[in-house]
Amino acid sequence: MRWLCALLLALGPALPACAGDVAATEPSDIGVTIYRDPGRNGGSLQLDSLGGFAVITETRQVVIPAGKSRLRFVGVVDGIIPESAIVSGLPSGIIEKNRDAALLSPSALMRAARGKKITLKRTNKVTGKAELVAGEIVSASDQGVVFRTAAGNEALRCSGQPETFSYGLDAEGLSARPTLSVLTRSSKPITATITLTYIAEGFDWSANYTAHLNPDGKTANIGGWITLANGNSVSLANARTQIVAGGLHREYVQRFVNNQPQVIARCWPMQRTSDVPLRPDRPYSLVTPYMGEQFEGYDKASEIMVTAQRRGSLAPPPSPVMAMDAAYASAPPPPPEQLGDLKLYTVPQRTTVAAMQMKQTRLIEQQGVPVEFYYAAAVNAQSYGADEQLHGMRMVRTHNDKAHQLGLPLPAGSILFEQDQFGRTMLVGEPTLADTAEDEKIELPLGEASDLTIQRRTLRRDAKSQDAEVTISNAGSGDLVLELKVPLGGGQKLASADHPHEQRDGQPLFVLKVPAGDKVIVRFSVATP
Give residue-wise pLDDT tens across range 196-207. 999 999 999 988
Mean pLDDT of 285-294: 42
With bands split at pLDDT 50, 70 and 90, how would you rate the model's confidence at 508?
A: very high
pLDDT at 37 over 60: yes
What superfamily in CATH does domain 372-400+440-527 come from?
Golgi alpha-mannosidase II (2.60.40.1180)
507, 487 contact by CB (below 8 A):
yes
Per-residue confidence (pLDDT) for residue 329, from 0 to 100: 41
pLDDT, tens digit, for every residue of 128-166? Answer: 788 888 877 777 776 677 778 887 777 777 766 677 766
- DSSP of 7-37, one letter per residue? HHHHT-TTSPPP-EEEEPPPPSEEEEEEEPP
Helices (H), 80-127: 106-112
For 372-390, the pLDDT digits (tens) are: 999 999 999 888 878 889 8
pLDDT at 331 > cutoff 50: no
- In this prediction, residue 15 carries a pLDDT of 35
Q: Strand, helix or coil at 287?
A: coil
pTM: 0.61
Cβ neighbourhood burial of 431 (10 Å; 0-12, 13-18, 19+):
buried
Instruction: Give the pLDDT score at 474.
Output: 95
Kindly tell me if the per-residue pLDDT of 11 is higher than 60. Answer: no
Helix (H) or strand (E) holding 4: helix 2-10
Confidence of residue 18 (pLDDT cuts 50, 70, 90): very low
Burial (Cβ within 10 Å: 0-12, 13-18, ≥19) of residue 139: middle
How much is the pLDDT for 398? 95
Residue 464, judged by CB atoms within 10 A of its CB (0-12, 13-18, 19+), counts as: exposed
Of 509, 449, 456, 512, nearest to 485 (Cα)? Answer: 509
The dihedral over CA atoms of 260, 261, 265, 267, expressed in degrees to the nearest 10, equals -160
* Confidence grade of residue 72 (pLDDT, cut at 50, 70, 90): confident
The angle at the Cα of 178, spanning 93 to 249, to the nearest 5 degrees, equals 75
Q: Are strands 413-421 and 190-213 parallel, antiparallel or unpaired?
A: parallel
Q: Which pLDDT belongs to residue 386?
A: 80
Phi, psi of 40 (to 5 degrees): -125, 115
Residue 327: predicted pLDDT? 41
d(C-alpha 203, C-alpha 256), whole Å: 18
pLDDT at res. 48: 83
DSSP string over 408-421: S-B--EEEEEEEEE
pLDDT band at 245 (very low <50, low <70, confident <90, very high): confident
pLDDT at residue 41, rounded to an integer? 60
DSSP string of 42-69? S----GGG--EEEEEEEEEEEEE-SEEE
**Burial of 110 per CB tally in 10 Å (0-12, 13-18, 19+):** buried
Backbone torsion region of residue 312, taken as left when φ is above 0, otherwise alpha when ψ lies between -120 and 50, otherwise beta? alpha
When mean pLDDT is compared over 31-35, 91-95, 268-272, the highest value belongs to: 31-35
Residue 306 confidence (pLDDT): 34
Q: For residues 15 and 495, which has the higher predicted lDDT (pLDDT)?
A: 495
Q: pLDDT at position 328, please?
A: 41
Please report, for the chain, the start and end positions of each structural domain, with discontinuous segments joined by +.
114-168+266-301, 372-400+440-527
Task: Tell me the pLDDT band of 1, cut-offs 50, 70 and 90.
Answer: very low
Which backbone phi and psi does 136 adopt, to 5 degrees? -145, 135
State mean pLDDT over 433-447: 90
